[in-house]
């Protein structure tokens, strides 16, 4: 699948050539994309996975391997954007799902697993005293933000440029016209002074601060502890609720990044891997806040949802968290992610290239710049065409990850898989060195 042609030293031409090769290698995926366009806009039902000129269609996965329609095999370094932490078809997850299927799925009632799963989540995440389940991270954030507005009686939500909290909470680039129609204040990530100045005229109107302790979608940009501590103080001073969106970052330590930093939000939102690979979301927090959802109260907040306690999700999630992604496993996976990220950075640093891998533990992203990255603005300085080229080069070598440059590890990956990624980065660094050394960001 790799090209033996000499590397092009013009970036536009190199990218065109890489896309040509991609097209030539993947005729069945191209045909699938064309036919999908007849029933879905752009052949797509999930914007984040679209790829120009066309996306690949995967047909099979097992462990840490994926196969596409044209028969190519990939090492899966995307792990379903962090949701696939267990790898494909983990035997214990399979068993949990099969057992659940045996007993029936749709009771229209409480089931015996949901309270056990809830208890495990409460025990694991320090700020969560009570929890409720949803079907997605987006929905969890909608509920958390709506609850904050109802509790405080205030309208405004502080969010951050580069933040992503779901399909209706998109604050990357120019944002999205489809965002939930709340009143937002858009702060600069990791810049407390600017955030305080932004909020100053609206302190009495602020209902919530919604923040990812590491911005995942914008390129694995960790929040500095002092920034999160400053947001905690700002929430306390203004009476707003602090919401940590740990939909992605909850995998980075047994109790998520809130545990790592020792900073407790009022509410936490969860999603992704915690549902064992099924559709999942959750929001939880202080019992006085979550207690407002207690249906025995005459003034209880409404929160229904046919699939909130879906039997497959509850069973797969419970087994995943108690039998597989134990605290020990969490530490081990994230330590191996730290080592791999350092190894990849050593490859590019040895050559003095304008390229780096940012992130924490089992999540990292490539950026085509060697300048420090603390915000979306910094991330945007990376050369986007080079990042695209990196994508096509690595996909051609059988490495699966997100085109925007994101990698997330699963427990199914092993040392040899890490070697394969390091070799692919080494080869990219070597063959594309002239571009990486001379191309200005932009």
Catalytic (active-site) positions:
164, 245, 272
Count, residues near ligand PLP per rule CB under 6 A: 16
**CB nearer to ligand PLP: pick between 18 and 247:** 247
Nearest approach, Cβ of residue 335 and ligand PLP (Å): 22
Nearest approach, Cβ of residue 85 and ligand PLP (Å): 14
Provide the pairing of β-strand 281-285 with 267-271. Answer: antiparallel
**CB nearer to ligand PLP: pick between 241 and 247:** 247
Q: What angle, 0 to 180 degrees and rounded to 10, lies between the N-to-C axes of helices 11-25 and 384-396?
A: 30
191 binds ligand PLP (CB under 6 A): no
* Cα 425 from Cα 353, distance rounded (Å): 12
252 binds ligand PLP (CB under 6 A): no
DSSP of 184-234 = EEEEPTT-HHHHHHHHGGGGGGEEEEEE-SEESTTT-EEPPHHHHHHHHHH
Q: Which span (87-95, 131-139, 232-240, 402-410) binds ligand PLP, by CB under 6 A? A: 131-139
219 binds ligand PLP (CB under 6 A): no
Nearest approach, Cβ of residue 172 and ligand PLP (Å): 11
Nearest approach, Cβ of residue 283 and ligand PLP (Å): 11
User: Which residue is at the shortest CB distance from ligand PLP?
Assistant: 137
376 binds ligand PLP (CB under 6 A): no
277 binds ligand PLP (CB under 6 A): no
Element (H, E) at 145: helix 137-152
Give the footprint of ligand PLP on residues 28-87 (CB under 6 A). 81
Nearest to 99 by CA among 325, 312, 274, 317: 312
Token representation of residue 305: 């949802």
Nearest approach, Cβ of residue 257 and ligand PLP (Å): 11
Contacts of 205 (CB under 8 A, 6+ apart): 154, 155, 156, 183
3-state secondary structure (DSSP) of residue 267: strand
**Ramachandran angles phi, psi of 271, nearest 5°:** 180, -150
Nearest approach, Cβ of residue 46 and ligand PLP (Å): 9
265 binds ligand PLP (CB under 6 A): no
Give the footprint of ligand PLP on residues 150-169 (CB under 6 A). 164-166
247 binds ligand PLP (CB under 6 A): yes
Nearest approach, Cβ of residue 84 and ligand PLP (Å): 12
143 binds ligand PLP (CB under 6 A): no
**CB nearer to ligand PLP: pick between 248 and 399:** 248
Nearest to 162 by CA among 201, 215, 214: 215
**CA 120 to mean position of chain CA atoms:** 22
Nearest approach, Cβ of residue 136 and ligand PLP (Å): 3
Token representation of residue 340: 């791999």
Among 55, 254, 271, 337, binds ligand PLP (CB under 6 A): 271
Element (H, E) at 360: strand 356-360
Among 55, 84, 216, 219, binds ligand PLP (CB under 6 A): 216
275 binds ligand PLP (CB under 6 A): no
Contacts of 335 (CB under 8 A, 6+ apart): 361
Among 212, 259, 388, 393, binds ligand PLP (CB under 6 A): 212
Among 76, 114, 191, 245, binds ligand PLP (CB under 6 A): 245
138 binds ligand PLP (CB under 6 A): yes
> What DSSP character marks residue 408?
E
**CB nearer to ligand PLP: pick between 29 and 218:** 218
405 binds ligand PLP (CB under 6 A): no
Among 29, 136, 238, 313, binds ligand PLP (CB under 6 A): 136
Nearest to 180 by CA among 151, 135, 219, 143: 143
C-alpha dihedral (379, 383, 384, 385), degrees to nearest 10: -170
What are the Cα distances from residue 127, in Å, to 140, 287, 321, 379? 16, 10, 17, 30
Give the footprint of ligand PLP on residues 278-307 (CB under 6 A). 281
**CB nearer to ligand PLP: pick between 247 and 353:** 247
C-beta atoms surrounding 233 within 10 Å: 14
144 binds ligand PLP (CB under 6 A): no
Task: Find out whether 331 and 254 touch, Cβ atoms under 8 Å.
Answer: yes
* Cα 70 from Cα 52, distance rounded (Å): 18
309 binds ligand PLP (CB under 6 A): no
Task: Find out whether 244 and 223 touch, Cβ atoms under 8 Å.
Answer: no
* Cα 133 from Cα 230, distance rounded (Å): 29
Nearest approach, Cβ of residue 226 and ligand PLP (Å): 21
Nearest to 76 by CA among 415, 412, 424: 412
> Using CB under 6 A as the criterion, which residues of the chain lie in contact with ligand PLP when the complex forms?
81, 136-138, 141, 164-166, 212, 216-217, 245, 247-248, 271, 281
């Amino acid at each position: 699948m790799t090209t033996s042609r000499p590397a092009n030293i013009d970036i536009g031409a190199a990218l065109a050539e890489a896309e040509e090769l991609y097209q030539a290698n993947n005729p069945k995926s191209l045909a699938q994309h064309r036919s999908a366009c007849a029933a879905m806009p752009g052949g797509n039902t999930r914007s984040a996975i679209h790829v120009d000129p066309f996306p690949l269609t995967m047909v099979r996965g097992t462990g840490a391997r994926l196969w596409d329609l044209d028969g190519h095999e990939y090492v899966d370094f995307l792990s379903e954007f962090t949701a696939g932490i267990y790898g494909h078809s983990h035997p214990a997850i399979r068993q949990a799902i099969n057992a659940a299927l045996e007993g029936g799925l749709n009771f229209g009632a409480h089931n015996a697993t949901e309270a056990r799963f809830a208890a495990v989540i409460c025990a694991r995440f320090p700020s969560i005293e009570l929890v409720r389940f949803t079907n997605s991270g987006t929905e969890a954030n909608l509920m958390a933000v709506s609850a904050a507005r109802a509790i405080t009686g205030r309208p405004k939500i502080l969010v951050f440029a580069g933040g992503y909290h779901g399909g209706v909470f998109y604050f990357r680039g120019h944002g999205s016209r489809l965002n939930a129609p709340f009143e937002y204040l858009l702060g600069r990530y990791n810049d407390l002074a600017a955030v305080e100045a932004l909020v100053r005229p609206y302190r009495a109107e602020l209902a919530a601060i919604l923040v990812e302790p590491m911005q995942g979608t914008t390129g694995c940009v960790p929040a500095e502890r002092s920034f999160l501590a400053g947001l905690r103080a700002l929430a306390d001073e203004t009476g707003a609720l602090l919401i940590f969106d740990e939909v992605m970052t909850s995998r980075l330590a047994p109790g998520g990044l809130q545990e790592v930093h020792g900073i407790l939000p009022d509410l936490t939102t969860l999603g992704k891997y915690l549902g064992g690979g099924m559709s999942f979301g959750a929001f939880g927090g202080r019992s006085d806040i979550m207690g407002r959802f207690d249906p025995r109260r005459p003034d209880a907040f409404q929160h229904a949802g046919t699939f909130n306690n879906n039997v497959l999700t509850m069973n797969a999630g419970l087994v995943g968290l108690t039998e597989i992604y134990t605290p020990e496993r969490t530490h081990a996976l994230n330590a191996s992610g730290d080592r791999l990220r350092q190894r990849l950075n050593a490859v590019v640093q040895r050559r003095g290239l304008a390229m780096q891998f940012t992130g924490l533990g089992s999540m990292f992203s490539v950026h085509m710049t060697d300048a420090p990255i603390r915000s979306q603005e910094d991330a945007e300085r990376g050369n986007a065409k080079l990042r695209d080229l990196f994508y096509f080069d690595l996909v051609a070598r059988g490495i699966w990850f997100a085109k925007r440059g994101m990698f997330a590890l699963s427990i199914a990956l092993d040392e040899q898989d890490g070697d394969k990624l390091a070799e692919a980065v080494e080869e990219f660094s070597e063959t594309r060195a002239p571009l990486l050394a001379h191309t200005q960001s932009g």
